[in-house]
């Protein structure tokens, strides 16, 4: 892993972070088509930064920490704004945020107890992220829920259930790590 912070993947990650306020402004002004374009552009930049980092061996320590922050910033912002606008039910927003808070609390506990851990996305968490992204895209594409009525509840429940399962899985893994004896 490279220690140089300036790389194309890191620049793309910073661009994704900078796109988040623009996305929020467009969304809060109810400019859904434009917000959708910015959200998709941010998603494409996420895919590109990972591809470039792996393919051209431009992985950096900064990128390993910054990339998930950029992803969470965009997704949490999207859910909170869509919840405020009543495009997505508030109970789904609470589930999404609660899972991420639980994960952050787990990391804080590991740090305080000096437990070593490796953050690795699981299959469930990858499916959760995919369902959350698809739900945001669907909500931006059809904020009134009238064009794709069959998909709305299906995707809403899929995202909610996967988010809960992912959160429970992280709690289970975290509890197992906390039960392990500390390495001297």
State the pLDDT at residue 46: 87
**DSSP character for 121?**
-
In the chain, where are the structural domains located? 1-85, 87-184
Tens-place pLDDT, residues 153-172: 999 999 999 999 999 999 99
Least confident of 19-28, 53-62, 137-146: 53-62
Tens-place pLDDT, residues 127-155: 999 999 999 999 999 998 877 777 889 99
The distance of Cα 104 from the centroid of its chain, to the nearest Å, equals 13
Tens-place pLDDT, residues 64-97: 888 889 999 999 999 999 999 999 999 999 999 9
What are the DSSP calls for 144-172, one per residue? TS-SSTTHHHHHHHHHHHHHHHHHHHHHH
Does 1-85 carry CATH code 3.90.1150.10?
A: no
Whether residue 184 is predicted with pLDDT greater than 70 in this model: the reply is: no
Distances in Å between the alpha carbon of 139 and those of 6, 81, 128, 151, 161? 35, 11, 16, 10, 18
Q: Is this prediction's pTM over 0.85?
A: yes
For residues 26 and 83, the answer to whether their CB atoms sit within 8 Å is no
């Amino acid at each position: 892993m490279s220690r140089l912070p300036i790389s194309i993947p890191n620049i793309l990650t910073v661009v994704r972070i900078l796109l988040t306020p623009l996305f929020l402004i467009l969304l809060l002004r109810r400019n859904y088509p434009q917000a959708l374009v910015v959200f998709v552009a941010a998603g494409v930049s996420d895919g590109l930064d990972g591809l470039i980092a792996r393919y051209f061996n431009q992985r950096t320590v900064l990128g390993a920490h910054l990339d998930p922050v950029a992803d969470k910033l965009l997704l949490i912002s999207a859910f909170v704004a869509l919840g405020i606008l009543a495009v997505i039910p508030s109970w789904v927003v609470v589930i999404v945020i609660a899972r991420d808070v639980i994960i952050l609390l787990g990391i804080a506990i590991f740090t305080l107890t000096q437990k070593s851990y490796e953050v690795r996305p699981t299959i469930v968490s990858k499916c959760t992220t995919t369902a959350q992204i698809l739900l945001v895209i669907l909500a931006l594409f059809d904020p009134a829920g009238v064009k794709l009525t069959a998909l709305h509840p299906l995707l809403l429940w899929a995202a909610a259930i996967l988010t809960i399962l992912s959160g429970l899985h992280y709690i289970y893994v975290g509890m197992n790590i906390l039960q392990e004896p500390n390495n001297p």
